[in-house]
A and B are shown apart, each in its own frame.
Chain A
Amino acid sequence: MEAAGPAAGEVGRMTTTPQIPTPPPTSAHAKALSYAGHALPWVIAIAFFFVAEGYRSFGTQMMIWMLFALSLDLALGYAGIVTLGHAVFFGVGAYAAGIFAIHVSHDPILGHLFAIAVSALLGLVTGAMILHTTGVTFLMLTLAIVSIVFEVANQARGLTGGDDGLQGMKIDPLFGVFEFNLFGHTAYLYSLAVLFAWFLITWRIVLSPFGRSLDGIRQSPRRMRAIGTPVWWRLVAVYTISGAMAGSAGALSAHATRFVGLSVLSLLTSGIVTVMLILGGTRRLYGGFLGAVVYFVVQDWTAKISPYFWEFIVGAMLIATVLFLEGGLMDLGPIGRRLFARLRRRPPDSA
Chain B
Amino acid sequence: MLAFALTILLDGISYGMILFLISVGLTITMGLMRVVNLAHGSFAMLGGYIAGYLTQNGYDFYFSLAVAAAVPGVLGCLCEVTIYRPIYRKGELAQVLLTIGLVFVVTAAVTEIFGAFPYPVKFPEYLSTPVDIGFRTYPGYRLFLIAIGTAIAAVLWVVIEVSVYGARLRAAVDNANMARAVGMNVNVLFTFTFVVGCALAGLGGAIGAGILSPEPTYALKYVVLFLVVVIVGGEGSFQGSFVAAMALGIIDTLGKYFAAGAAPYLLYAAVFVLLLWKPQGLLPAKSAA
Binding site for B on A (CB under 8 A): 76, 82, 84, 129-130, 133, 135-137, 139-141, 143-145, 147-148, 151-152, 154-155, 266-268, 271, 274-275, 278, 306, 308-312, 314-319, 321-323, 326, 351
Inter-chain CA distance A154–B98, complex, in Å, is 30
Asked whether any CB of chain A lies closer than 8 Å to the CB of B192, the reply is: no
Asked whether any CB of chain A lies closer than 8 Å to the CB of B261, the reply is: yes
Which residue from chain A places its CB closest to the CB of B100 in the assembled complex?
Answer: A271
Known interface pairs A278-B97, A315-B101; A155-B265 also in contact (CB < 8 Å): yes
The answer to whether B275 touches A141, judged by C-beta atoms less than 8 angstroms apart, is: yes
Known interface pairs A144-B268, A147-B265, A274-B97; A319-B107 also in contact (CB < 8 Å): no
Asked whether any CB of chain A lies closer than 8 Å to the CB of B247, the reply is: no
The answer to whether B104 touches A267, judged by C-beta atoms less than 8 angstroms apart, is: no
Between-chain CB contacts (< 8 Å), 19 pairs: A76-B93, A84-B96, A139-B36, A140-B228, A144-B268, A144-B272, A147-B264, A267-B223, A271-B220, A275-B100, A278-B97, A306-B112, A309-B112, A311-B105, A315-B102, A318-B101, A319-B101, A322-B97, A351-B93
The answer to whether B268 touches A82, judged by C-beta atoms less than 8 angstroms apart, is: no
Question: What residues on B are CB-neighbors of A319 within 8 Å?
Answer: 83, 98, 101-102, 105
Per-residue A-contact encoding for B106-149, CB less than 8 Å = 1, 0 else: 11110110001000000000000000000000000000000000
The answer to whether B101 touches A140, judged by C-beta atoms less than 8 angstroms apart, is: no
Per-residue A-contact encoding for B269-289, CB less than 8 Å = 1, 0 else: 101100110011000000000
State which of B98, B228, B264 has its C-beta within 8 Å of the C-beta of A322: B98
Asked whether any CB of chain A lies closer than 8 Å to the CB of B103, the reply is: yes
CB distance from B203 to the nearest CB of A (A): 24
Inter-chain CA distance A315–B272, complex, in Å, is 29
The answer to whether B265 touches A136, judged by C-beta atoms less than 8 angstroms apart, is: no
The answer to whether B101 touches A136, judged by C-beta atoms less than 8 angstroms apart, is: no
Question: What residues on B are CB-neighbors of A315 within 8 Å?
Answer: 100-108
Inter-chain pairs besides A141-B276, A322-B97, 8 sampled, C-beta below 8 Å: A135-B92, A140-B231, A148-B269, A267-B223, A310-B108, A312-B112, A319-B102, A351-B94
Question: What residues on A are CB-neighbors of B108 within 8 Å?
Answer: 308-312, 315
Question: What residues on A are CB-neighbors of B265 within 8 Å?
Answer: 147-148, 151-152, 155
Inter-chain CA distance A76–B264, complex, in Å, is 28
Known interface pairs A133-B275, A141-B275, A143-B227; A308-B268 also in contact (CB < 8 Å): no
Asked whether any CB of chain A lies closer than 8 Å to the CB of B74, the reply is: no
The answer to whether B104 touches A314, judged by C-beta atoms less than 8 angstroms apart, is: yes
Binding site for A on B (CB under 8 A): 30, 36, 83, 86-87, 90-94, 96-98, 100-109, 111-112, 116, 216, 220, 223-224, 227-228, 231, 235, 261-262, 264-265, 268-269, 271-272, 275-276, 279-280
CB distance from B256 to the nearest CB of A (A): 13
Question: What residues on B are CB-neighbors of A154 within 8 Å?
Answer: 264
Inter-chain CA distance A241–B265, complex, in Å, is 26
The answer to whether B101 touches A144, judged by C-beta atoms less than 8 angstroms apart, is: no
State which of A130, A136, A141 has its C-beta within 8 Å of the C-beta of B235: A136
Question: What residues on B are CB-neighbors of A271 within 8 Å?
Answer: 100, 103-104, 220
CB distance from B91 to the nearest CB of A (A): 5
CB distance from B172 to the nearest CB of A (A): 19
Interface centre among B30, B108, B112 (most CB of A within 10 A): B108
The answer to whether A318 touches B276, judged by C-beta atoms less than 8 angstroms apart, is: no
The answer to whether A136 touches B98, judged by C-beta atoms less than 8 angstroms apart, is: no
The answer to whether B276 touches A130, judged by C-beta atoms less than 8 angstroms apart, is: yes
* Among all A-B residue pairs, the 5 with the closest Cβ atoms: A315-B104, A318-B101, A312-B108, A315-B105, A151-B265
The answer to whether B104 touches A311, judged by C-beta atoms less than 8 angstroms apart, is: yes
The answer to whether B261 touches A155, judged by C-beta atoms less than 8 angstroms apart, is: yes
The answer to whether B103 touches A136, judged by C-beta atoms less than 8 angstroms apart, is: no
Question: What residues on B are CB-neighbors of A318 within 8 Å?
Answer: 97-98, 100-101, 104
Question: What residues on A are CB-neighbors of B261 within 8 Å?
Answer: 155
Known interface pairs A152-B265, A318-B101; A136-B94 also in contact (CB < 8 Å): no
Interface centre among A151, A306, A310 (most CB of B within 10 A): A151
State which of A136, A143, A308, A326 has its C-beta within 8 Å of the C-beta of B224: A143
Known interface pairs A84-B96, A133-B275, A155-B261; A316-B112 also in contact (CB < 8 Å): no
State which of A137, A152, A322 has its C-beta within 8 Å of the C-beta of B231: A137
Question: What residues on A are CB-neighbors of B271 within 8 Å?
Answer: 140, 144
Which residue from chain A places its CB closest to the CB of B225 in the assembled complex?
Answer: A147
Which residue from chain A places its CB closest to the CB of B261 in the assembled complex?
Answer: A155
Which residue from chain A places its CB closest to the CB of B110 in the assembled complex?
Answer: A308
CB distance from B248 to the nearest CB of A (A): 13
Inter-chain CA distance A208–B171, complex, in Å, is 47
Inter-chain CA distance A145–B112, complex, in Å, is 32
Inter-chain CA distance A139–B227, complex, in Å, is 10
Which residue from chain A places its CB closest to the CB of B38 in the assembled complex?
Answer: A84
CB distance from A127 to the nearest CB of B (A): 13
Inter-chain CA distance A139–B92, complex, in Å, is 10
Inter-chain CA distance A143–B232, complex, in Å, is 13
The answer to whether B101 touches A266, judged by C-beta atoms less than 8 angstroms apart, is: no
The answer to whether A133 touches B279, judged by C-beta atoms less than 8 angstroms apart, is: yes
